[in-house]
Every structure is written in structure tokens, then in C-alpha cells.
Structure 1
Amino acid sequence: MMDSLNRPTFQALILATTPTHFPSSFLFPSSTYTFPLPRCIKALSTTSTATLQSSKLSHDYPAKPQWKASIDFKSIKDNKDAVAANIRNRKSHANLELVLHLYDQMFHLQKEVERLRGDRNAVANKMKGKLEPSERQTLIEQGKNLKEGLIALEEDLVKLNDELQREAQCIPNMTHPDVPIGGEDCSTIRKMVGSPPNFSFPVKDHLQLGKELDLFDFDAAAEVSGSKFYYLKNEAVLLEMALLNWTLSEVMKRGFTPLTTPEIVRSSVVEKCGFQPRANNTQVYSIDDSDQCLIGTAEIPVGGLHMDSILADSMLPLKYAAFSHCFRTEAGAAGTATRGLYRVHQFSKVEMFIFCRPEESEYYHQELIKIEEDIFSSLGLHFKTLDMASEDLGAPAYRKFDVEAWMPGLERFGEISSASNCTDYQSRRLGIRYRPSEAPVVGVKKSKAPPQFVHTLNATACAVPRMIICLLENYQQEDGSILIPEPLRPFMGGLNIITRKS
């Protein structure tokens, strides 16, 4: 999932005196890392004033959360120091002390509720026998008082449960031990591919090239829709279609099922994937007077595809390549570094998404970044792959690799893709589990294995506007024309070069 877009009824919080044991994948998803936990969602820009606009965030909590994440509070408490360090490393605003305080309160309140239930049952049992009228009346009064006290405590328990859930959902996912600690500048280079092109003439940026070749119209789009919208024209339209179709054909060869997705989703699904659709700095366009939002990435509707389900072990891994339009408010994205197509409010994208077993997510994370690198290498781009630092991971990501390509006209590297392993952060919110298959044992009665949460991963295969920037600026010729990379030519009707209109 590119950039910082870097997430039904869930299992209820455990209210019993002995906490339920969650799958071991929550504590130790693989032998190489510690347990992942939910974190305060990193936003998908400030509120828009259009009809589709982000609602202002109330400083008061709603009376009750719309959904509950399946959070293992006991493991949070048992691993308090590691969780606290992770919150610091991610610059999260999660309040761990408050979460632990609320959990202890809920634990003790539940014990008191159970005590009153026991007393009430005892009174009810006494009333089954023969009793003197006065004794029966005394028991009736006792039962009435116990019932009223129990109702009050149960109401307090529900409110406490809701507050605990809200606070605990702000705890970040744990971090891969190899992730650099710190801000974006601390990110490390995993790989450098290719070299920047050598030009014997003054280099133009994509805005100048697009104007001379009649490929874009930003002015008309600004009048029609506002700033940071655009029209693609002539060969740029063919180039967008070629990029999408070629990318889909490449990832389908690698076992990905193609999808088109809804582009309006419920706000709760956006939240479950790890984004804050109605926060002050959100990048999500929310629809007024509804519980719906425009998607900022296909990760959201694909993540919701198997919401509240238990998948068969034989179905995994599920690998999808989803085409969608994406909508982002991009607040604060001003200046020359974000001009033209670099940051826009609407764009086309192909997103890869994988549901897999916990022990396989590290393998598939490497597969996703390899696919991205193969795609960009095939197009002859000069790029670097980064292992992103802890403060830049976003809400659900346990680890994230970014790809930044050289953009000669902008005279810098620009992000064109990322690949994230979200472990079970999203699946615990979305309620997506699988039932592991077990090899039959001779003489042992077969029993069903308990369901476990899947792991989810996402990666950008092609974000069209930034790919167009790369292709125009890297393949420009001295006469102002643009060569089409060879892999794309069959998808452009055999067109090899974009030239000035006569």
C-alpha cells in the first residue's frame, strides 16, 4: 500500500475471571518476532469542504464502539515493558497505563458481578422450598436488592468494557526486530537497482512534458473539481490503461486473482483496516449523513472481503490483485515537491493483498517486494528499496518496505510503492480466521483444531500517476518525445513513442 495509508461483530472482550487463551500467533506469530498488538490508526487530510467531506472529530467518545477488536489483554499486561517500548519507538499516543488500569478495574468488577449472580441464585434456590410468609418476604426483598445492584454493576461493566476497547485499539502493532528505530531518516536501504539516466540536454519535468505533448489538463480539472485533480488526455490515457493491464497480467502470472472493488465502504471497515476516517487529519473522504467513505486504497475493500469468516486451511494463501480508483484529501501536501501528478486527490492503482497462515507472512512479505522490484526493473527504472523506520510504519504494519524511484525532472527519488506485513492486526479487527488442518493420528479420535487469525499483507503493484511521472521523465528524448518502455508497447496498440501533435 503506497504512502502513509499506512486500517460486524468481533469476539467480545473476555469478561470471565480467567482470561480466554487466544491463538499463540498473537503472542508469537513466528519464531523471529514478538506479538503484534493493535495501534492508534495512522490516518489515510484535513477535512474537505466539499459535499463529500470529512466530519470533525468530537473530543467526546461515542457512547459505545461500533465494533470490538479481539485483543488479548492478558498478554499486554504480561509484556508491559515490551509494549511500552514499542509505543515509544512508534511515537504513538496510546495510553498503556490507562489500558492496564481499565483492564484491572474490569477484572475486579467482573468478579463482583459474578459474586452477586451467585448470591442471587442462592436466594432463588432458597425460595423453592416451603417457607414462612415472613421468611419468603425477606428473601423476595433480598432478591430484588440483588437484582437492582446487579443491573447497575452490569451497566458499569459494559461502559468500562467499551472504554477499555477504545483505549486498547490505540496500542500499536509490535515491530519486527530488524526494523530501524526512529524517524523516516533512519530508514535503511535494502537494495539499489539501476542508475540514473544520462541526458545530453536540459531535463524537463513531467508537467512541462505533459503540456508540450498535450497529455494533461490541470487547469480545467481545477475549475471542474478543485486543485489536485487532473484530466489525462491522448497517449496519457493509453499509458494509464497499458500500465494497469500490463501490471495485472504480470501479477496474475504469479498466482494473484484479479478483482475490482467497491470504492465506497462503511466507516467501520476503514477503521478495522487501521485508518481513522473521521479524525482531524484524516486523508479519508467521508460522506456526510452516512456511515460510508471513499476508499484511499483497495486494501480496505479487499481486507473486508472475508470479514467475519473462518477460512478453510486449504484456501490459504489467498492472493488478490485489486484494481480501484483511490481518493485522498492530501491535506498539507503543498509545494514544488508535490506538484503535478505527485500528490493528487484521485488516481488509479493496482493493489496486491494476501491472506495467509501466520508462519508464512514473512515469506510472502519478501515475495511482494520481489514482485514490485521485478515490475519496476522491467520498466528500466532506477530505484531503491527501503526498510522503513519504526515511526514511519503506520498503524497496522509490523514491517514495511518502500520503493522510491528516481524522477529526473523532480531531481529526487519519489515513493512509488510499498509493501507491508500487518500480521494479525487487521484480521483481529476484521474477524478473519482459518481452521488449521491436522494430520490424522492412528487410533486417536479426530477433533477440530481451534481457529486462528490469518495474517494480512498488502503492496502496491502500480500507482498510475507516479508511474507516469517516472516514465515521462526517464524516457524523455531531446526532441521532447517520450519512448514507451518495451513491455508496455503491446498494451498501447504497438505505439513506441509519444510525439508532439502537429
Structure 2
Amino acid sequence: MIDPALLRENPEAVKQSQIARGSSPDTVDAAIAAEASRREALTAFEELRAEQNAFGKTVAKASKEDKPALVAQAKELAGRVKEAQAAATEAEQAYRAAVDRIENVVLDGVPVGGEENFVTLREVGEIPSFDFTPRDHLELGEMLGAIDMERGAKVSGSRFYFLKGVGARLELALMNYALATALENDFTPMITPTLVRPEVMAGTGFLGEHSDEIYHLGEDDLYLVGTSEVALAGYHQDEILTFPESGSVKYAGWSTCYRREAGSHGKDTRGIIRVHQFNKLEMFVYCDPAQAEQEHERLLALEERMLSSLGLAYRVIDVAAGDLGSSAARKYDTEAWVPTQGAYRELTSTSNCTTYQARRLDIRHRPEEGGRTQPVATLNGTLATTRWIVALLETHQQADGSVVVPAPLRPYLGGLEVLEPIR
């Protein structure tokens, strides 16, 4: 939810943000009208309730002869108060629904437009070249006995897979390396639930226009998460946080993630680039809103450190407003070079959600002792995920189908330096 004060005091800024996202600015006018109706309904209820309280004192002091008539009037007034209260509640709900349709206000400098309007901030590393025809990650994975798509489809359907042998070990090595990196930077490790309540999923902003991407268990009314960001955001729902001396509360959530990939028919059908289930280590930060942009740069730096240390060529893009998702005020994607596609593909992203999620989930802090509470800022960033295996296999492959293990992963693979084909 956006800041109500910003909506009242500077609606044009909110409208411009909506336009930059490619969304209708009419949602802003609708929210302003809904707030006016809410204020009017609340005022009417409070005035009637005050009248009821005053009238109650009159009834209490009335004589025995006058009391029956006054009691009848009090009942009639009580009915009006009840109706006014219901109207105020309805107006509050309508206001909340109207405000929830407004996406987070984008930060200054975020590119305007849709998916193709991103801005490349930098390209890092040397794009790999080969003196042989490189194999794609699936062919390499099958040669190594690491990936089995055929049996994944047999067991679970399209876009499912088995990682086995060195494939399973490689993913665990990658995730453990990411976890070690998080621990070095004072993140508290978390293994999170992968099923969450509707209010948590909605609070993080994932039940908007992309809700068709989410698996829903109707009988239980629970949602399967597509990122541990959701559970980590809900972890402090309805709480007042106290920040440590470092100024932020930081978690690293390891979880299996699920996405329906609705609308991706025919896209990335080969291999494990776009799948329904994967593992991910997600960083999540709560901080004072004044520190949010600085924390965002820290998360991006950790993602880049991981990519560089594994010898992957990548670029960093500033994602355009129309491709941000409703909660993010700014998002940076880091995309690794995939040799057989001749293109950069997203491996990580990090988003500054400012106070948008915290307002919806009622997560606050007290900037000054004894002062009023204020919403915190929330940020997230991916430190490792299954898709990294695609870039790792293709980048570090050799002519015979073997793959060199990047040095930082070797301790997590029992010192293994090269993955050798088994056929």
C-alpha cells in the first residue's frame, strides 16, 4: 500500500508513477474519491455515536414518567448508529480496495516503459568463447548424468525434472556457497514455509495481475510460494521491530519455490531455465526507509560478488517501471551470459519495496524512543537458484563434455575439480 499522505498531498506524483508503469492513473482518482467517502462516513458515525453517548446520560437522569419515551428514542438512535457503523466499515473496505489497486510509487530515475525498456548499467566479465561447438546445458547435464527431464515429465509433467548425481551435488554446493556468503554478511539463515495464508500472499503484492503464476490449494486456502520473500515478509506481520546497531534485520531464506509459468507456453521448453519447481536462497531485509536505497546497493553487490566469483559473465540492468511488479519501487536484474543462446538470461534480481509491503502487513518500527511508530522498508534479493546451473555448465564446459568446477564450489563438492561425462 502506498503512503496515504503522499496520495493526499501529491496525487500527481502517484499518477506519474502509474503512467510510467503503463497503468491507468484513474486508480489514483478512484482512491482519492474513496478516501473522501471514507472520511465522510466515519465522521457521520462518530457524530451519531457522540449523540448516542450524550443521549444515554439524558435517559439515565430522566424521571420514571419520561423514561419509556426516551428509551424508545434511544433504541431508534442505536439503530442509526449501527447503520452508520456498517456504512463506515463498508467505506473503509472500499477505500482499502481502491488503494490496493495502486502500485508502489517508482523511485526517481527508474526507466519508463515495459520489459524491453530496461537500461543496462554495466557488463562485467569476459564472454566465453570456444574452439569447439558448445553444448547446451541439457546436453551437458545428460552426459554428466546430472539432469533427467524425461523422467521428470513422466513423474510430474512438463517443466519438471530430476537433478541427480553431480547435478544434485552441484545445486547443493551452490546453495551452501550462497548460504556461507550470506552468513559472512550477517544474515540469519532461515528455512521457510512454502505454503502461506492468503493475507500474507496479498500483503506482499503477489495476488495482483500475476496471480495466475501462483499455485493455490483451494481446499486449504493456502498458496505455494514462488519465493521465500513471501514467508519472510510475513514473518514480522503485525509487529513493531527494533533494529540492531547495524540498522537492519536481515534474513537468508532457503526454500523450494513453485511457479505455474502461466503464459509461457512455448518459451524455454528445453532444459531447466523455466520450470515449475526450483530451489532458491533469498535475502530479505527490514530497515529504516531512509536506509533502503543504500541497502539495495548492498544486496546488488552481494549478487555480483557471487556471479564474479563463479566466473560468469553478466550484466546489470535497471528494470523499467512497467516490468517491476506491483511492490517494487526499483529492481535491478543481473543476467548471466548463456553461450548457446548468445544472450544474457536473468539469474538474480533485487528489489527495493520501500514501505509498500510493510504498510499492507502492518510492520513498523519506532524511530525515536517514545515516538510514533512508522512503517519499515523491505528489500529482497536472490543469492542463488537452480537456474544458475544453466550458466555454470555452459560457461565452464570443455570439448569432451566435461565441466570445470569453479574454485569456490569445490570445497562443497569434496574437492571435485571437474565433472566428468558418464557416457
Query: Normalization by structure 2: what TM-score?
Result: 0.95
What residue is the counterpart of 2:371 in the other structure? 449
Please tell me whether residue 487 in structure 1 is matched to residue 408 in structure 2: yes
What residue is the counterpart of 1:248 in the other structure? 179
What residue is the counterpart of 1:102 in the other structure? 34
- Indicate the SS of the match to 2:346: strand
**Alpha carbons of structure 1 residues 130 and 181: separation in structure 2 relative to 1, 3 Å:** closer
Residue pair 2:241, 2:363 contacting (<8 A) in 1 also: yes
Structure 1: distance between partners of 2:14 and 2:106: 10
**Alpha carbons of structure 1 residues 437 and 151: separation in structure 2 relative to 1, 3 Å:** closer
What residue is the counterpart of 1:120 in the other structure? 52
Residues 318-373 of structure 1 show CA distances to partners (whole Å, capped at 9, x for unaligned) of 11111111011111223354531110011111111111111111111000001111
Structure 2: distance between partners of 1:299 and 1:130: 61
Please tell me whether residue 414 in structure 1 is matched to residue 348 in structure 2: no
Counterpart residue type for residue 334 of structure 2: V
Mapping for residues 173-188 of structure 1, pairs under 5 Å: 173-188=104-119
Residue pair 1:313, 1:436 contacting (<8 A) in 2 also: no
Please tell me whether residue 290 in structure 1 is matched to residue 220 in structure 2: yes
Please tell me whether residue 501 in structure 1 is matched to residue 422 in structure 2: yes
Structure 2: distance between partners of 1:129 and 1:267: 51
Structure 2: distance between partners of 1:231 and 1:314: 42
What residue is the counterpart of 2:78 in the other structure? 147
Structure 2: distance between partners of 1:479 and 1:300: 42
Mapping for residues 61-140 of structure 1, pairs under 5 Å: 72=4, 74-92=5-23, 95-131=27-63, 133=65, 135-140=66-71
- Indicate the SS of the match to 2:133: coil
Mapping for residues 213-232 of structure 1, pairs under 5 Å: 213-232=144-163
What residue is the counterpart of 2:288 in the other structure? 357
> Which of 375, 381, 387 is equivalent to 1:459?
381
Counterpart residue type for residue 250 of structure 2: K
Structure 2: distance between partners of 1:267 and 1:113: 31
Structure 1: distance between partners of 2:350 and 2:120: 14
Higher relative contact order (CA 8 A, sep 6+): 1
Structure 1: distance between partners of 2:168 and 2:86: 59
- Indicate the SS of the match to 1:372: helix
Counterpart residue type for residue 483 of structure 1: V
**Alpha carbons of structure 1 residues 222 and 435: separation in structure 2 relative to 1, 3 Å:** same
Residues 97-156 of structure 1 show CA distances to partners (whole Å, capped at 9, x for unaligned) of 2222221112122222223223323332333335473x4444333322221112112112
Residue pair 2:243, 2:249 contacting (<8 A) in 1 also: no
Structure 2: distance between partners of 1:123 and 1:382: 76
The CA deviation at 1:417 is 0.4
Residue pair 1:123, 1:142 contacting (<8 A) in 2 also: no
- Indicate the SS of the match to 2:8: helix
Q: Which runs of 4+ in 1 moved over 6 A?
A: none
Residues 174-229 of structure 1 show CA distances to partners (whole Å, capped at 9, x for unaligned) of 11101111112221111110121111111211122122222211111111111100
Q: Which has the higher helix share?
A: 2
Residues 277-317 of structure 1 show CA distances to partners (whole Å, capped at 9, x for unaligned) of 8x785211111211211111010111122221112233641
Residue pair 2:18, 2:102 contacting (<8 A) in 1 also: yes
Mapping for residues 8-47 of structure 1, pairs under 5 Å: 37-38=1-2
**Alpha carbons of structure 1 residues 128 and 170: separation in structure 2 relative to 1, 3 Å:** same
- Indicate the SS of the match to 2:185: coil
What residue is the counterpart of 1:58 in the other structure? none
- Indicate the SS of the match to 1:456: strand
The CA deviation at 1:78 is 2.1
Mapping for residues 268-417 of structure 1, pairs under 5 Å: 268-276=199-207, 281-314=211-244, 316-335=247-266, 337-417=268-348
Query: Normalization by structure 1: what TM-score?
Result: 0.80
**Alpha carbons of structure 1 residues 463 and 107: separation in structure 2 relative to 1, 3 Å:** same
Residue pair 1:205, 1:409 contacting (<8 A) in 2 also: yes
Residue pair 2:364, 2:375 contacting (<8 A) in 1 also: yes
**Alpha carbons of structure 1 residues 432 and 194: separation in structure 2 relative to 1, 3 Å:** same
Counterpart residue type for residue 92 of structure 1: S
Structure 1: distance between partners of 2:60 and 2:403: 91
Residue pair 1:313, 1:437 contacting (<8 A) in 2 also: no
What residue is the counterpart of 1:63 in the other structure? none
Q: How many residues align?
A: 421
- Indicate the SS of the match to 1:409: helix
Structure 1: distance between partners of 2:151 and 2:21: 42
Structure 2: distance between partners of 1:483 and 1:119: 80
Residue pair 2:190, 2:253 contacting (<8 A) in 1 also: yes
Counterpart residue type for residue 459 of structure 1: G
Residue pair 2:402, 2:421 contacting (<8 A) in 1 also: yes
The CA deviation at 1:96 is 2.1
Structure 2: distance between partners of 1:211 and 1:251: 31
Counterpart residue type for residue 46 of structure 2: E
Structure 1: distance between partners of 2:232 and 2:62: 63
> Kindly, what percent of the aligned residue pairs are identical?
37
The CA deviation at 1:375 is 0.6
**Alpha carbons of structure 1 residues 390 and 338: separation in structure 2 relative to 1, 3 Å:** farther
What residue is the counterpart of 2:128 in the other structure? 197
- Indicate the SS of the match to 1:401: strand
Counterpart residue type for residue 350 of structure 2: A
Residues 60-117 of structure 1 show CA distances to partners (whole Å, capped at 9, x for unaligned) of xxxxxxxxxxx62x54122121111211211235722222222111212222222322
Please tell me whether residue 475 in structure 1 is matched to residue 396 in structure 2: yes
Structure 1: distance between partners of 2:326 and 2:420: 44
**Structure 1, gaps ≥5 residues long:** 1-36, 39-70, 439-447
Counterpart residue type for residue 128 of structure 1: A
